[in-house]
Copies of this chain bind each other. A is one copy, B any other.
Amino acid sequence: MPSMAVEDYLKTIYSLSAGAEAASTSAIADRLGIAAGSVTGMLKRLAEQGLVEHVPYYGARLTAPGEREAVRLIRRHRVLEMFLVQVLGYTWDRVHDEADSLEHAATDELIDRMATVLGEPASDPHGAPIPAGEGRFVEAHFPTLGEMAVGTRGVLRRVQDEDPEALRYLAELELVPGTELELLERAPFNGPLKVQVGGRERFVGLELARSLEVEAVDPVARRPKKNKAKTSAGATKHV
């Protein structure tokens, strides 16, 4: 049974090694708010337990068992977030911390019961997909608003930001998963983006826009030319 600390490391390494690269010691240390030296020590322990592969000076990546455990944790976290919002009335900006502490204490049965009550949800309140109990899980991504071409229309699918302030702000702008939007303008010099959302025009800073994943929609009657490449790319993997 992994301890809380071990679980936190696994989750962190998982999310850092998304692009198949190894997670660096300092990146892990940063995320967890822990000194780098302590991380090295823990990586050695994790390697002994066979949860992590650690090549000194090059970083760590999860082994198969380590990844299985990490995915289980992510499932727990996301089901909990959804439950907190749907059943207990939390707002989406306040669920992260609560779920973070509960995920270490909850049993799989508890999580499965919550998922049942929720109707086996496919994603959490921020649009992050919820892994099933078993089986492979690959975290697919849509392109972000920050990298989309002007004129693209689409549906906001996921918000990759945990900062409560940012989330509250986005909710005010109606920028929540499921919302339709269109990128109208892009100010020069990495300036803010003008976006049409819910009948209104909004301005979104580039940084924030980079955390908004959008599924592009084929502009049915408009621009019948060459949007296909972009759209299909958006629907598949996109690191």
Contacts and interface: CB of A to CB of B under 8 A. Distances in A.
A197 B106 CA distance: 37
Interface string A69-108: 0000000000000001001111000000010011011110
A168 B63 CA distance: 41
A105 B101 contact: yes
A107 to B, nearest CB: 6
A114 interface: yes
Interface string A105-120: 1110110011001000
Identical chains bound together, number: 2
Contacts of A98: 107, 109-110
A98 B98 CA distance: 17
Contacts of A106: 101-102
Contacts of A104: 105
Contact of A88 (B84, B88, B113): B113
Interface of A: 84, 87-90, 98, 101-102, 104-107, 109-110, 113-114, 117
5 contacts: A87-B117, A90-B113, A98-B109, A101-B107, A105-B105
